[in-house]
Amino acid sequence: MRDSEEMLEKVQKAIQLLEGRQELVTYQSVSQIVGIPSQRFAYYPQAQTLLKRHAQYQNQMTQRVRLREDEIVAGVQRAIQQLEENQQRVTMNAVCRIVGISPSCFTTYPCIKALLDQRADHRSRIQLEKAIQRENELFLHVEEAIRELRSLNRQVTQKAIAALVGMQPNSMKQYPRVRSVLAENAGVYHHNTRTHSQEREGELVARVAAAKDLLESSGQVVTQRAIARMVGLGPRSFMRYPKVRMLIPPQKNISRLRSVQASPAEDKLIFDVEKAMQQLDAQGLTVTMPRVSASLGISPMMLLRYPRVLSSVKEVAKDQARKRYEQREDELVQTAYTTIQRLRELGHPINFTAVAKAMQRSASSLRYYPKIRSLVEQIRRENEPCI
């Protein structure tokens, strides 16, 4: 009797272990865990009854799963047929929406996923066949368009072919055979275009060289704009040609030449600027670029064109700022000295904070002036008691 109870307990634990692993509960699987042959369960009626009950329950559940799977498969097939009839994409989400199931069901029922994969493979084959057919049709249209362009003596370009076919050039290039015939026929056009470009470059070289000689002989600066005006083209138009670019001096050389030519005008302007700055200084006004240009009656941008003028104005403005700083420092030193004397008479401590507070200024603003720092520090040391 005791052996029967012990075996029943072992079988119960084995069943719990198998169910926890989500494995089937069978005589064989339980016997492996318990450690006895499956035929020996016949000697333990209670354990055998328990095993039979679990086996029957699992068989029922398996049948229910199969019935449920068959129902879902039938629903999925109807959903696929409905989507195809409506010319809609057959996707997992679309099928689940029609059948009324969650996408997680596809992991529970593998055959449903296999059914969808099979339809997807079939759809891919159909799409591939359609793509091949479309490519063949487009290839014939492209060849016909090329023949038509040549018969009309028009340039055979991808853009012209696309216009006749009714597609964008990039769309046609998606098909290998079409892309090959486009490259082959457009290559002839590009070769002719290069030949024409070389001839055009040769003509421009001669015209630019003549314009350059004329500018140099008349003492004018050789610039892109001047040459373009004489040749009758925009600067960007003929600068596309390498041989033409070689004939025109770099921009930095043009700027240097302009600087040399402008030096007499700059000398005169410097004289006028210095005179204007002296007048402003005599009037007690700060020298700035807008005030100098206003005194001369010219635009500030005109002064910025001359580096020496700009340097001269900056130097005078810097000197004025230094003088104002020194004057302000001397005034503050005098005020600080008077304040320190007053603090002494009142018996107050002499330090930066006390002096700044008495002067109604911040301590950090006073430390900006070296003479004040030196004065306060000197007075503070003199007032320190000797030890």
Least confident piece of the model among 87-101, 231-245, 313-327: 231-245
- Please report which confidence band the pLDDT of residue 219 belongs to, taking 50, 70 and 90 as the band edges: low
pLDDT mean across residues, the chain: 74
Burial of 380 (0-12, 13-18, 19+ CB in 10 A): middle
CA-wise closest residue to 303 among 256, 251, 265: 265
pLDDT surpasses 60 at 44: yes
Q: Determine the pLDDT at residue 254.
A: 46
**If you average pLDDT over residues 18-41, what whole number do you get?**
76
Angle between helices 307-346 and 370-383 (to 10 degrees): 20
Per-domain boundaries in the chain: 1-108, 133-197, 199-258, 259-323, 326-383
pLDDT surpasses 80 at 67: no
Burial of 273 (0-12, 13-18, 19+ CB in 10 A): buried
CA-wise closest residue to 226 among 214, 240, 217: 214
| φ, ψ (nearest 5 deg) of residue 232 | 90, 25
**If you average pLDDT over residues 8-27, what whole number do you get?**
76
pLDDT surpasses 60 at 121: no
Higher pLDDT pick, 110 / 20: 20
Residue 371 identity (one-letter amino acid): K
Token pair 């001397």 in the structure block, residue:
330
Q: Determine the pLDDT at residue 250.
A: 61
What's this model's pTM, rounded to 2 decimal places? 0.32
Contacts of 54 (CB under 8 A, 6+ apart): 15, 25
CA-wise closest residue to 177 among 118, 210, 133, 116: 133
Please say whether the beta carbons of 358 and 343 come within 8 A. yes
CA dist 28 and 255 (Å) reads 99
Max alpha carbon distance in the chain (Å)? Answer: 131
- Please report which confidence band the pLDDT of residue 128 belongs to, taking 50, 70 and 90 as the band edges: low
Q: Determine the pLDDT at residue 127.
A: 65
Q: Determine the pLDDT at residue 189.
A: 43
Please say whether the beta carbons of 120 and 92 come within 8 A. no
